[in-house]
Amino acid sequence: MVITEAPLDQTLVPPGLLGIDLEAFATEFGTPLFVYDEDELRRRCQDYVACIGEDSVTYAAKSFMCTAMVRLVDEEGLRLDVATGGELHVARNAGFPAERIVFHGNNKSDVEVRTGLEAGVGRIVVDSFDEIARLEDAMAAGVSKQPPHVLVRVTPGVEAHTHEFIETGTERSKFGFTVSEGVALEAVQRVVAADGLHFGGLHSHIGSQIERLDAYGRAIEILANLAREIGDMTGAAVEELNLGGGLAARYLATDPDVSVSTYADALRSAVAAHWLAGAQPHIVVEPGRSIAAPCAITLYRVGTVKEIPGVGTYVAVDGGMSDNPRPVLYGAGYEAYLPARIDEPRPLRCNIAGKHCEQGDVIVRDACLPEGVRVGDLLATPTTGAYGYSMASNYNKVPRPAVVFVRNGDARVVVRRETEEDLVRLDVIDSMVASAGSGSSGVREAKPHRTPRSDWSA
């Protein structure tokens, strides 16, 4: 990870968020604050459709999801990938067409399977033999009269050259059916033979933040060989080949910028090389990070500047791992800048720390900022549009930030900031309730429970 002392490379900032008054947004909406460039979100969706094709792009909701984002994806004509019953609920509540929903998840419950069938989702991606059995049982029970379009998720055994936590195509992955020992072929045979299920094709997602496109070529070759085996053994054709997502986003100025057109060309070339002419499947991709990440920045307020002799400088802000856990989880690197001084050199080497009770709560290690950073300064980190808000938590009982979409310099709130009242909204008060009409408020505090000393561990 290399962060230079030169002024920030402003290509990391969404174009619609340059030259506008971010301080005014911070004052109006508070900090931390996720700020998205709505036009850039739409442009990136359109770029994928232009390069991959109509009805061939599925937005991965896990990267960033809220009602406004679901509706934007709908308006741009993309499919929507959901991975849980909760994501499915948000999609349906937003009015997203069920037939354009792709239902993922490595451990769908009976309820989730039934809910997906009842909603009429367009694709169900099966991840285990247990899930196939759940689908068979649900269809036998008459949950849906329409056979679901089933894709079988395959782990092709390909290294994607990324962090192990987001590398999902190797044989040790918890996802999908491995090609080795004929497991994936057996899963397809099970789907093809099942009453009430329609085998629609294969799915493979080899990982995230992928910069080297050769990994896709190796995966496609393995999937093409599997498709031939499927045809020989079952007579079924692979109508659709969903290659997942994974295209890298650019977090640092030194990161490569892999274009969607280059990515699309690599996929098509590999399919053409390994699939028989006339038998090539419909290619589908599932971008999330590469759409959402570059479209947002996070605004923070500096609260403390601490110089430790012989160690360095900590610049502490009013957020941290509760709004961006990626640095802690994956060692992810980010840039940082002061919006009011974006054109200045950044000679101050520092760690930008969060406010949480964890030594590892550092948003940007070895960050570069202008000299003279002060308490109260507005600080921003770019490329935070994916896996920030969606992975946010209430650790240390910190309310989650608001999210705003900006268009033509105007901001609208799409997710309100949590309040301290929200932090106790789900708490259940002790059941020792005074009887009605006692004249009390109706609730009395329970007596504290004291564990006998003999029960204490030594």
What's the confidence (pLDDT) of residue 157? 78
236-252 pLDDT, tens digit per residue, is 999 999 999 989 999 99
What's the confidence (pLDDT) of residue 163? 38
What's the confidence (pLDDT) of residue 169? 41
Contacts of 27 (CB under 8 A, 6+ apart): none
- Per-position pLDDT tens, the chain of length 458: 567 789 999 999 999 999 999 999 999 999 999 999 999 999 999 999 999 999 999 999 999 999 999 999 999 999 999 999 999 999 999 999 999 999 999 999 999 999 999 999 999 999 999 999 999 999 999 999 999 999 999 998 776 554 343 344 456 678 899 998 899 999 999 999 999 999 999 999 988 888 888 889 989 999 999 999 999 999 999 999 999 998 999 999 999 999 999 999 999 999 999 998 778 999 999 999 999 999 999 999 999 999 999 999 999 999 999 999 999 998 999 999 999 999 999 999 999 999 999 999 999 999 999 999 999 999 999 999 999 999 999 999 999 999 999 999 999 999 999 999 999 999 998 865 544 444 444 444 444 444 444 443 33
Alpha helices in 120-235 (DSSP H): 129-140, 183-193, 214-234
End-to-end CA distance of the chain: 46
The residues of the chain that CATH labels 2.40.37.10 are: 294-419
What's the confidence (pLDDT) of residue 303? 99
The string over 128-147, giving b where at least 16 C-beta atoms fall within 10 Å of a residue's C-beta and e elsewhere, is: beebbebbbebbeeebbeeb
Tell me how long the chain is.
Answer: 458
CA-closest candidate to residue 210, choices 168, 172, 270: 168
| 224: amino acid identity, one letter | A
Kindly report the backbone phi and psi dihedral angles of residue 457, in degrees, each rounded to the nearest multiple of 5, phi listed first.
-75, 155
The class level of CATH for 294-419 reads mainly beta
Contacts of 21 (CB under 8 A, 6+ apart): none
**0.85 exceeded by pTM:** yes
**Set 66, 350, 357, 368: catalytic member:** 357
Kindly report the backbone phi and psi dihedral angles of residue 208, in degrees, each rounded to the nearest multiple of 5, phi listed first.
-125, 160
CA-closest candidate to residue 299, choices 116, 103, 25: 25
357 is catalytic: yes
The residues of the chain that CATH labels 3.20.20.10 are: 38-289
What's the confidence (pLDDT) of residue 432? 55
CA 311 to chain centre: 35
Q: What does the alpha-carbon distance between residue 388 and residue 66 come to, in Å, rounded to a whole number?
A: 13
What's the confidence (pLDDT) of residue 431? 66
What's the confidence (pLDDT) of residue 388? 97
What's the confidence (pLDDT) of residue 214? 87
CATH level 2 (architecture), domain 38-289: Alpha-Beta Barrel (3.20)
* Cis amide bond preceding 401, omega within 30: no
What's the confidence (pLDDT) of residue 159? 67
